[in-house]
Structure 1
Amino acid sequence: MPARPPAHLRLGARGETTAARFLERAGLTVLERNWRWKQWELDMICREGDTLVFVEVKTRGPGSLATPAEAVDGRKQAKLGKAAAQYLSKNKLWDSPCRFDVVCVRVGDDGEEIEHVRDAFSPALGGGHAAWQPW
């Protein structure tokens, strides 16, 4: 019998499943989950109308002092931007409008609390570029 995944991985998977259901109920279509490129991962890639939405999901359990959104700092944003740029290149989607959302899931004794931050950030790719997409 395979070993049970560690608690933090189970919590993260629960948060991603909760976020996917929430986003689908809000009218987004989930295209990909856990899309990987090298050492980086995009939790979810969704479509809302003609807009591609790269979604970072942060989950915290009972007793956590940090907010989920605090984990999406500048360094994390840059990594997500690089992964998203690779996704756009591999799928020839550079002409698609895009945005980055963060879904924060807090799991408590009473269930889950969800906060969806639309257009949460716009990562720079370095080299002085202010916009992460080339248009």
Structure 2
Amino acid sequence: MATHNDLGRKGEAIAKAHLEANGYEIMDENWVFGRAEIDLIAYKNKTIIFAEVKTRTGNSFGEPEDFVDARKQRLLADAADEYIYLMNHQGEARFDIISILYDRNNNYTLKHIEDAFWPSAT
């Protein structure tokens, strides 16, 4: 398996542990709809949270969260709409980004950006 895939899976495991430690219930992991994959789907306070996890080993090309571009946001929104429909969820929903940045010593910083974006309908 490619190293970047290993890093991504490691980041998703860290993000899942972070959410659980903060009272979120994990509903699904790596949920796929069409061409979109939602890394983590969680639930807290009657709100479904669609979390995109970005893990990087450096920020010379930008912060990890900078890689959730408008195209990715639209794909996530389409998948989220389908998930909400399938679950018949009547409450709130939001999109979070969990950014994990490793340094040279294999230490990481985690940034949980709540309500990071709401894709516009285009």
The answer to whether the superposition gives a TM-score over 0.5 is yes
**Residue in structure 1 matched with residue 94 of structure 2 by the alignment:** 99
Does residue 87 (structure 1) correspond to residue 83 (structure 2)? The answer is yes
Question: Where does structure 2 lack aligned partners over 5 or more consecutive residues?
Answer: none
**Residue in structure 1 matched with residue 3 of structure 2 by the alignment:** 7
Question: Where does structure 1 lack aligned partners over 5 or more consecutive residues?
Answer: 127-135
CA shift for structure 1 position 65: 3.1
> Aligned equivalents of 1:63 and 1:53: distance in 2?
26
CA contact (8 A) 2:35 2:75 kept: no
Number of aligned positions between the proteins = 121
Equivalent position SS for 1:90: helix
CA contact (8 A) 2:77 2:119 kept: yes
**Rg larger in structure:** 1
Note the alpha carbon deviations across 1:24-64, whole angstroms, 9 max, x for none.
11111111100011221100100011111000000001465
Does residue 29 (structure 1) correspond to residue 25 (structure 2)? The answer is yes
Equivalent position SS for 1:117: strand
Q: CA RMSD in A?
A: 1.3
TM-score norm. by structure 1 comes to 0.84
> Aligned equivalents of 2:59 and 2:69: distance in 1?
21
| Paired AA for residue 101 in structure 1 | D
Could you tell me the percent identity over the aligned residues?
A: 33
> Aligned equivalents of 1:47 and 1:53: distance in 2?
6
CA shift for structure 1 position 110: 4.3
CA shift for structure 1 position 124: 2.1
Does residue 120 (structure 1) correspond to residue 116 (structure 2)? The answer is yes
CA shift for structure 1 position 74: 1.2
TM-score norm. by structure 2 comes to 0.92
